[in-house]
Amino acid sequence: MSDAGAPALAAVDWGTSSLRVWLLDAGGAVLAERRSGEGMQTARETGFSAVLERLLADLGAPAGLPAIVCGMAGARQGWVEAPYADVPCTLTEIFDRAVPVENAGRVVRIVPGLAQRDRASPDVIRGEETQIAGAVGGLGAGRHILCMPGTHSKWVEVEESRVLGFATWMTGELFNVLSTHSILAHSIGEAAKEAAAEKEAFRDGLSLGLEQADRLTSLLFGIRAGTLLHGLRPAAAAARLSGLLMGAEIAGAKRRYLGAGGSVALVASGVLADLYRDALTLAGLGVGTVDADEAVRAGLVRAARVNGFLPGSS
């Protein structure tokens, strides 16, 4: 690996509301990092190229350093649309379809998302395809089920570097929307951020969600009733909501992908990783954790190799 330690790639994860940029050397090691709130929604106004060039200048990136980008920058309303690759497909096929962007002085390519077009379960991914590529590198051969929690949790079925299919659960978004805009806002108030500390209420909700996912929209109202009848505290109400939604997600995904048992690769970081590890274990599943930040970086390196931005095989 010649020139180790010198910047060889700018790796960019460009989400809806934030972005992260890393300077990596030819071996994929992190030399520097910047995080910014200029996600797709902001960059649409201020200009994607201007945002990226300013962050790279801050990082002291050399002129002409190639950049590989994943995430919402490739959405229709993003920088340049990177049309979805259809599943099933291999990770190499995905990265082969990275779309070049007109950008003075620097080669930039954007990784496409994934589309599952069958009418019974249409679904899309944008950004997680790169995390998947990074995560499966460490999982060995065979079939794997990945759980990637977040605003829109993704469960993904992969086999031998091939993405077979996936499904989205709106867990994180439902937590935010219900705790803010529904009658449950009266129960939760300002306590949504305290949910993770209320272990018992979280586990109560989780057990109910796992056991009775088919009446989730009734269990949700039980939070309101708990406030009125049993003095359920706001932080406990938030934890119960989180547990119910997470339990329903895991119950549904387990039935779809795992049957009675099995193992999942949990791709997550921080508090979310802790919560899901507990929840998956309570659901009777084996859990191996892959750090989500490391996974996206490893995936971007893999994408860069497929695109000839870095030496080495993909």
- Kindly list the residues in this chain that would bind a copy of itself in the complex (CB under 8 A): 84, 115-117, 119, 121-124, 152, 167-171, 173-174, 177-178, 180-183, 212-218, 220-222, 224-226, 228-230, 245, 248-249, 251-253, 255-256
- The residue among 248 and 310 lying less far from a copy of itself, judged by its C-beta, is 248
φ and ψ at residue 57, rounded to 5 degrees: -65, -45
Q: Cβ distance 273 to 289 under 8 Å? A: yes
What is the distance between the alpha carbons of residues 74 and 101, in angstroms, rounded to a whole number? 10
User: DSSP assignment of 131-180, as one string?
Assistant: HHHHHHTTT-SSEEEEEE-STTEEEEEEETTEEEEEEEE-HHHHHHHHHH
Smallest gap from Cβ 184 to a copy of itself, in A, equals 9
- The residue among 34 and 256 lying less far from a copy of itself, judged by its C-beta, is 256
- The residue among 55 and 220 lying less far from a copy of itself, judged by its C-beta, is 220
- The residue among 35 and 186 lying less far from a copy of itself, judged by its C-beta, is 186
Smallest gap from Cβ 217 to a copy of itself, in A, equals 5
Smallest gap from Cβ 216 to a copy of itself, in A, equals 6
What is the distance between the alpha carbons of residues 184 and 215, in angstroms, rounded to a whole number? 17
- What is the biggest distance separating any 2 CA atoms in the chain, rounded to whole angstroms? 68
- The residue among 92 and 182 lying less far from a copy of itself, judged by its C-beta, is 182
Instruction: Name 153's bridge partners.
Output: 169
Smallest gap from Cβ 210 to a copy of itself, in A, equals 10
φ and ψ at residue 56, rounded to 5 degrees: -70, -35
- The residue among 175 and 309 lying less far from a copy of itself, judged by its C-beta, is 175
- The residue among 221 and 262 lying less far from a copy of itself, judged by its C-beta, is 221
Q: Mapping DSSP to helix (H, G, I), strand (E, B) and coil, where does residue 270 land?
A: helix
**Contacts by residues 212-221 (CB-CB < 8 Å, ≥ 24 positions apart):** 213/247, 213/248, 213/251, 213/252, 216/244, 216/245, 216/248, 219/244, 220/178, 220/182, 220/184, 220/244, 221/183
Instruction: Tell me, rounded to whole angstroms, the distance of Cα 247 from its chain centroid.
Output: 18
- The residue among 88 and 137 lying less far from a copy of itself, judged by its C-beta, is 88
Q: Cβ distance 121 to 66 under 8 Å? A: no
Instruction: Tell me, rounded to whole angstroms, the distance of Cα 166 from its chain centroid.
Output: 13
Q: Cβ distance 9 to 68 under 8 Å? A: yes
